């Protein structure tokens, strides 16, 4: 496999050096692998910290900045960051108003963030946590007890980040984050496997002419494999799987997310089909994002995430945000 890298062992460090050079508004600690908004800690504001394995960019480092995350901790590719990273991030963003850990539901992430929270509390940092578990495809996957955390992580980080920017207290920021997660559902489809730099070959076998319905963001198996389907058929299957589990009474936020190797030409065409299904099902869409936001290295495919919103959640979604990967209102 051809990759634009030096050696597999330095992929994450090299990416962090590049991020530091591209985004001087961030403080990027390459050695300790922590990305922090440069003005942190912001007096009187709750700090938001998230993280996870690298390979899902722009999640999470690309979402650090005003109106979203205060800091992010990148682990090795598809590997949880360690508690020391999380503790360092919490200390860097703690203004005395507390820190919220946003954790995708993968066993390594959950255990390490739990340990980091205990360490932070020992140092006098008040920590609250929210677990993101929005995937409807499977339960108890290779990496997960319960449902996996996927695209809704973006919605949680954006809305909780807006609340923190408005100086909401820690318990309120946590409650909003939980509300977003509880009202969000996702479903992903893979057209090809991804390739990790360390392995240098596809991480799973997906024969030509087949696709994986309900794939995870590390390539974990989904519900089933089928012969290749049209965009129309994939949209029907994906949206209906979500709506079997989520019965929105309010308008929704819609994320049509690329897995890393699917071009925007295809993603916008897929969005047209997703929008068709939602219209047919009578689900109004308040806001839409289309693009690569929660990726899986070079996997071809897409995921759909819906989040039911009320007036307050929609207002917080629309609030200004200024990060490398998400920016509006500024």
**Where in the sequence numbering do the catalytic residues fall?**
56, 218
Whether the CB-CB separation of 171 and 275 falls below 8 Å is answered with: no
d(CA 51, CA 132): 12
Whether the CB-CB separation of 90 and 125 falls below 8 Å is answered with: yes
DSSP 167-220: T--HHHHHHHHHHHHHTEEEEEEESS--B-TTT-SBSS---TTEEEET--TT--
Angle formed at CA 60 by CA 182 and CA 83, multiple of 5 degrees: 90
In terms of Cα–Cα distance, which of 295, 280, 157 is closest to 215? 295
| Phi, psi (rounded to 5 degrees) for 231 | -55, -40
Residue listed under structure tokens 């409650």: 175
């Amino acid at each position: 496999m051809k990759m634009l890298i030096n050696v597999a062992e330095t992929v994450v460090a090299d990416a962090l050096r590049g991020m530091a050079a591209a985004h001087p508004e961030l403080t990027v600690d390459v050695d300790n692998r922590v990305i922090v908004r440069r003005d942190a800690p912001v007096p009187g504001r709750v700090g938001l910290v998230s993280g996870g394995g690298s390979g899902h960019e722009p999640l999470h480092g690309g979402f650090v900045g005003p109106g979203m995350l205060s800091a992010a901790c990148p682990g090795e590719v598809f590997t949880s960051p360690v508690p020391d990273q999380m503790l360092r991030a919490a200390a860097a963003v703690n203004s005395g108003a507390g820190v919220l850990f946003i954790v995708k539901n993968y066993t390594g992430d959950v255990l390490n963030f739990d340990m980091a929270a205990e360490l932070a509390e020992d140092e006098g940092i008040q920590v609250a946590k929210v677990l993101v578990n929005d995937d409807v495809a499977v339960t108890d996957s290779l990496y997960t007890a319960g449902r996996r955390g996927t695209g809704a992580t973006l919605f949680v980080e954006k809305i909780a980040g807006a609340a923190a920017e408005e100086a909401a207290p820690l318990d309120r920021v946590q409650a909003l984050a939980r509300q977003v997660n509880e009202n969000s559902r996702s479903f992903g489809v893979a057209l090809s496997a991804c390739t990790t730099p360390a392995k240098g070959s596809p991480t799973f076998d997906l024969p030509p002419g087949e696709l994986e319905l309900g794939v995870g963001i590390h390539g974990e198996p989904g519900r089933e494999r089928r012969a290749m389907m049209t965009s129309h058929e994939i949209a029907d299957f994906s949206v209906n799987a979500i709506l079997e589990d989520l019965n929105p009474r309010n308008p929704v936020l819609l994320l049509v997310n690329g897995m890393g190797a699917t071009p925007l030409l295809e993603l916008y065409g897929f969005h047209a089909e997703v929008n068709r299904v939602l219209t047919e099902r009578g689900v109004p869409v308040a806001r839409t994002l289309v693009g690569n936001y929660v990726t899986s290295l070079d996997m071809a495919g897409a995921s759909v995430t819906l989040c039911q919103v009320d007036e307050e959640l929609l207002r917080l979604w629309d609030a200004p945000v200024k990060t490398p990967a998400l920016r509006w209102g500024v």
